[in-house]
Amino acid sequence: MAVTMADVARRAGTSIAVVSYVVNDGPRPVAARTRERVIAAAAELGYRHNRVAAALRSGSSGLVGVVLPDTVNPYFAALGRRLEEALTASGKLMVVANSGYDGRRQATAIEALLGAQVDGLIIVSASGADDPAGPATEEGASVVYVHHRPPGSATTLVAADNEAGVAAAVAHLREHGHARIDFLAGPTDEGPVGDRVAAWRATGVPGELLRSAFGRAAAARLVAGLGTVPRALVVATDEQAVGVLAACGAAGVDVPGRLALISCDGSPETAFTVPPLTAVEQPLAEMARQSVRHLLGEPVPGGTPAATLTVRRSCGCPHPGFPTP
């Protein structure tokens, strides 16, 4: 038979209510020694917290749904990891769903998560998706967007301020002697990519706005089809930048000798490309921390997190060596 709170209470020499306070982290405080005794008794007996039963009793499941476009994408995988760390630190368990960049699939995932009685949702919105904040609120769940939200939505968004980071990227390439700096973006200017394009335009640097579908393959095809490869290029996403590197490698175009390249996500994998990518790095840990605080209704100090330039080899700087783990 399953071990119950009553079994743990008997072993710990305390009440069932105290065991509940320890297991559910409240609503009343428990003395440190008593808490340790309860935790030890639960471990000895192999007690497993029943979240479903707890949700029925308290109205809170302790679960938070996180909807990402693609957990295989290194940037969103890194963001998901930071969100999990922040949620775990707040005593919440993360449940992840992939939207596949598709609005209908996102809606299905959100419906399933609400059916699982999640306490809240943290969403990277898929392009063209509806805003689920209203229906989610009616279900008793709060919603926070991170990185991207639907156009026109008034729901809280936590995203990096890319203006200073992109300006630093352009200034850095100018220091390398590049008077013209092109920008590679996606097919539209929706969301953070549009913010990065706007930041590039605001620098006033001469250059062409290049467009392709998102992803490595699309960027590789675009570069392969260009009559003349740019001399300096800022790229909206890491996936696209990896595609540019692949196309240049296949064509024998030296990076950074022939093409100076800077990406705009800064996921951990960019440190291990060939050459390592200089990148406008998104402050994922701070974005995750602020998202969770907003979700839980806690104060959010610190202002808008800023993206910063991380210099490596692809821009033309000397190789700094491999980063330490």
Query: Domains in the chain, ordered, with CATH?
Result: 5-49 (1.10.260.40), 61-158 (3.40.50.2300), 163-282+305-310 (3.40.50.2300)
| Cα distance between residue 188 and residue 172, in whole Å | 26
91 pLDDT higher than 90: no
Give percent of the chain with pLDDT exceeding 70.
Answer: 93
Question: What's the token pair of residue 176?
Answer: 């390398």
pLDDT digits (tens, 9 = 90+) for 255-289: 999 999 999 999 999 999 999 999 999 999 999 99
51 pLDDT higher than 70: no
Q: Do 120 and 64 contact (CB within 8 A), yes or no? A: yes
| Low-confidence winner among 22-36, 46-60, 143-157 (lowest mean pLDDT) | 46-60
| Cα distance between residue 133 and residue 28, in whole Å | 31
Q: Do 261 and 201 contact (CB within 8 A), yes or no? A: no
Nearest Cα residue to 121 out of 30, 52, 132, 162: 132
| Cα distance between residue 277 and residue 263, in whole Å | 7
| Low-confidence winner among 27-41, 200-214, 311-325 (lowest mean pLDDT) | 311-325
158 pLDDT higher than 60: yes
Residue 136 has a pLDDT of 82
129 pLDDT higher than 90: no
Residue 287 has a pLDDT of 96
| Cα distance between residue 191 and residue 65, in whole Å | 21
Give percent of the chain with pLDDT exceeding 90.
Answer: 64
| Cα distance between residue 165 and residue 170, in whole Å | 9
46 CB-near residues (< 8 Å, 6+ apart)? 3
246 pLDDT higher than 90: yes
Nearest Cα residue to 237 out of 296, 194, 272: 194
Nearest Cα residue to 170 out of 280, 94, 78, 276: 280
Q: Would you place residue 105 in the very low, low, confident or very high pLDDT band (cuts 50, 70, 90)? A: very high
pTM, full prediction: 0.80
